[in-house]
């Protein structure tokens, strides 16, 4: 019996209509990345588990898709089951030996030891996993190919990643990331260039955005001044609620998190920070005057703003101290981009990191990068109807097939139309007119071309505009002109 076809939960098929829109986004970011001197790399979907494990926290390790070793892995594995005492992790564990000697079954043993059986088994039967993000593979790439690379290394990477997250609306187990990074340069010009890229991408995509900017060093400075280095996340989370719950409640929350009254007092100008970016920076300078790292952060931000002013950038750039994404990871600038006309999370984000490649043995390589969220950008453009009507991809004209001599004649007109760069097709057989017109309608092909004996004798074609319904006899040259110019 035939199987009922389906796909794994959390994954998606993309139809032609969806793909044309998705490619429009990818092609746009690609073209901008390249204009700024960034070039593509690609890494394999599968990485060694030794590359991936331990890079995303304990939760991340669980969310890796692991690939079964090929071959008859399980014979080995079963043999290992029989020799379990020899496994590294358990050889040391006397308790384990005792349970085993008592003849206890493996799940019982694992339960008594408080571990999951799969923690024990997976390393025996799987050595590879699917890429979880593009950052760790990029770090691995840079270290592995460091002798072939000229630094600063400017690369972009647009590839799918896989996470065994619980699927839900807007969260998938397979999705694309579009990362653009430069490594091997401390210059703040790189931050500025990424901001220019954000500006240009979203201008091309017609999305109104605000870019929020912060600096990890300023957050460290605030923590230093308050004497509360461990509370910086609590502080940013509390400040972020100002609009919703008001100053009084924010202060209550800060106190509840264990901040002293003195620290809360010191923090007041920061919680109430307002005005232009320059005004905010002036306020901050007063508060952070005694923090070296804080003042360094301010200096960095000031320099970025100086560049942006010199460039006369139109983009709405806003200093936002509550921005703390990936705090443990970033060391300088932190970016986030939000759409102004639709409530949705950030559509682009990133920042500077000072030791990405250290985990793979290459120290002191600073980098800065941002990632464009293709799925969210797609949702914004779809909802706000921002995708271009004419995309240069979809079929522009369908030639009706009347068979015989008409078909051969149409085939040659079609050849000329395609040579002019117009995506077009001839219905593959002389099916009923209605069927052919339905095909054009369903596929939203804007023009239909009819060539019968009359047209052939008069050296014209009948061109039907499917939207207006207008129909007229035109020469092939006119035909090409009309379709190209729409």
Q: Please identify which residue in the block is written with the tokens 């206890």.
A: 104
- Regarding 466 and contact with a copy of itself (CB under 8 A), the answer is no
* 461-465 and 471-474 strand pairing: antiparallel
- Regarding 39 and contact with a copy of itself (CB under 8 A), the answer is yes
| Residue among 117 and 486 whose Cβ is closer to a copy of itself | 117
- Regarding 11 and contact with a copy of itself (CB under 8 A), the answer is yes
The residues facing 159 across adjacent strands are: 177
Of these, 104, 296, 394, 456, which contacts a copy of itself (CB under 8 A)?
394
Going by the DSSP 8-state scheme, the letter that residue 235 receives in this structure is H
- Regarding 353 and contact with a copy of itself (CB under 8 A), the answer is no
Residues 395-414 vs a copy of itself: string with x where CB under 8 A? Answer: x--x--x-----xx--xx--
- Regarding 62 and contact with a copy of itself (CB under 8 A), the answer is yes
CB of 464 to a copy of itself, least distance (A): 17
- Regarding 320 and contact with a copy of itself (CB under 8 A), the answer is no
CB of 401 to a copy of itself, least distance (A): 8
- Regarding 84 and contact with a copy of itself (CB under 8 A), the answer is no
Closest alpha carbon to 159 in 146, 141, 184, 185: 141
Going by the DSSP 8-state scheme, the letter that residue 168 receives in this structure is B
**Helical spans, DSSP H, in 149-291:** 189-205, 216-226, 232-240, 242-256, 261-271, 277-288
Q: Judge residue 57's burial from the number of C-beta atoms within 10 Å of its C-beta, 0-12 exposed, 13-18 middle, 19 or more buried.
A: exposed
- Regarding 143 and contact with a copy of itself (CB under 8 A), the answer is yes
Query: Which region, left, alpha or beta, applies to residue 69 given φ > 0 means left and ψ of -120 to 50 means alpha?
Result: beta
- Regarding 36 and contact with a copy of itself (CB under 8 A), the answer is yes
What distance in Å separates the CA atoms of residue 187 and residue 197, rounded to the nearest whole number? 16
Of these, 84, 113, 121, 233, which contacts a copy of itself (CB under 8 A)?
121
CB of 264 to a copy of itself, least distance (A): 41
| Residue among 106 and 242 whose Cβ is closer to a copy of itself | 106
Show contacts with a copy of itself in window 174-193 (CB under 8 A). 174, 182, 185-187, 189-190, 193
What distance in Å separates the CA atoms of residue 220 and residue 418, rounded to the nearest whole number? 61
- Regarding 382 and contact with a copy of itself (CB under 8 A), the answer is no
- Regarding 114 and contact with a copy of itself (CB under 8 A), the answer is no
| Residue among 115 and 342 whose Cβ is closer to a copy of itself | 115
- Structural element, H or E, at residue 217: helix 216-226
Q: Please identify which residue in the block is written with the tokens 């035109």.
A: 474
- Regarding 310 and contact with a copy of itself (CB under 8 A), the answer is yes
Of these, 90, 96, 162, 305, which contacts a copy of itself (CB under 8 A)?
162
| Residue among 251 and 401 whose Cβ is closer to a copy of itself | 401
- Using DSSP's 3-state secondary structure scheme, residue 347 falls into coil
What distance in Å separates the CA atoms of residue 13 and residue 7, rounded to the nearest whole number? 8
Q: Cβ distance 455 to 464 under 8 Å?
A: no
- Using DSSP's 3-state secondary structure scheme, residue 376 falls into helix
CA dihedral over 442, 446, 450, 451, signed as positive or negative? negative
Show contacts with a copy of itself in window 195-234 (CB under 8 A). none
- Regarding 170 and contact with a copy of itself (CB under 8 A), the answer is no
CB of 153 to a copy of itself, least distance (A): 9
Show contacts with a copy of itself in window 412-441 (CB under 8 A). 412, 415, 418, 421-426, 428-429, 438-439
- Regarding 65 and contact with a copy of itself (CB under 8 A), the answer is yes
Return phi, psi of residue 316, to 5°.
-80, 105
- Regarding 58 and contact with a copy of itself (CB under 8 A), the answer is no
């Amino acid at each position: 019996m035939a199987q009922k076809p389906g796909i794994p939960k959390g994954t998606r098929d993309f139809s032609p209509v969806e793909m044309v829109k998705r490619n429009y986004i990818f092609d746009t970011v690609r073209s901008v990345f390249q204009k700024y001197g960034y070039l593509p790399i690609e890494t394999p979907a599968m990485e060694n588990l030794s590359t991936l494990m331990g890079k995303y926290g304990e939760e991340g390790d669980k969310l890796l898709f692991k690939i079964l070793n090929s071959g008859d892995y399980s014979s080995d594995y079963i043999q290992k089951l029989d020799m379990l005492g020899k496994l590294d992790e358990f050889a040391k564990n006397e308790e384990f030996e005792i349970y085993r000697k008592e003849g206890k079954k493996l799940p019982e043993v694992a339960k008594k030891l408080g571990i999951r059986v799969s923690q024990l088994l997976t390393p025996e039967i799987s050595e590879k996993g699917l890429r979880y993000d593009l950052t760790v593979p990029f770090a691995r790439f840079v270290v592995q190919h460091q002798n072939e690379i000229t630094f600063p290394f400017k690369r972009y990477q647009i590839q799918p990643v896989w996470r065994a997250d619980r699927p839900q609306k807007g969260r998938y187990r397979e999705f694309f990331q579009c990362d653009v990074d430069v490594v091997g340069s401390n210059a703040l010009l790189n931050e500025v260039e990424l901001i220019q890229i954000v500006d240009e991408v979203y201008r091309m995509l017609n999305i109104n955005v605000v870019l929020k900017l912060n600096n990890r060093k300023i957050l460290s400075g605030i923590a230093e001044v308050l004497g509360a280095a461990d509370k910086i996340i609590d502080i940013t989370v509390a400040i972020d609620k100002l609009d919703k719950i008001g100053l009084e409640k924010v202060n209550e929350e800060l106190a509840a998190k264990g901040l002293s009254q003195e620290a809360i007092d010191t923090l007041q100008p920061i919680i109430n920070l307002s005005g232009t970016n320059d005004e905010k920076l002036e306020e901050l300078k007063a508060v952070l005057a005694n923090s070296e790292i804080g003042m360094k952060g301010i200096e960095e931000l000031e320099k970025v703003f100086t560049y942006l002013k010199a460039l006369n950038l139109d983009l709405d750039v806003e200093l936002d101290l509550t921005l703390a994404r990936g705090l443990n990871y970033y060391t300088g600038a932190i970016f986030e981009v939000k759409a102004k006309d639709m409530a949705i999370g950030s559509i682009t984000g990133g920042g500077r990191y000072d030791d990405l490649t250290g985990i793979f043995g290459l120290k002191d390589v600073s980098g800065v990068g941002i990632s464009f969220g293709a799925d969210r950008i797609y949702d914004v453009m779809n909802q706000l109807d921002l995708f271009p009507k004419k995309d240069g991809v979809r079929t522009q004209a369908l030639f009706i097939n009347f068979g015989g001599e008409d078909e051969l004649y149409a085939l040659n007109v079609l050849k000329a139309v395609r040579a002019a760069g117009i995506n077009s097709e001839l219905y593959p057989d002389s099916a009923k007119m209605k069927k052919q017109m339905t095909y054009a309608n369903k596929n939203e092909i804007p023009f239909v071309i009819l060539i019968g004996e009359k047209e052939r004798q008069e050296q014209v074609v009948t061109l039907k505009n499917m939207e207006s319904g207008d129909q007229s006899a035109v020469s092939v040259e006119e035909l090409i002109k009309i379709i190209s110019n729409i």
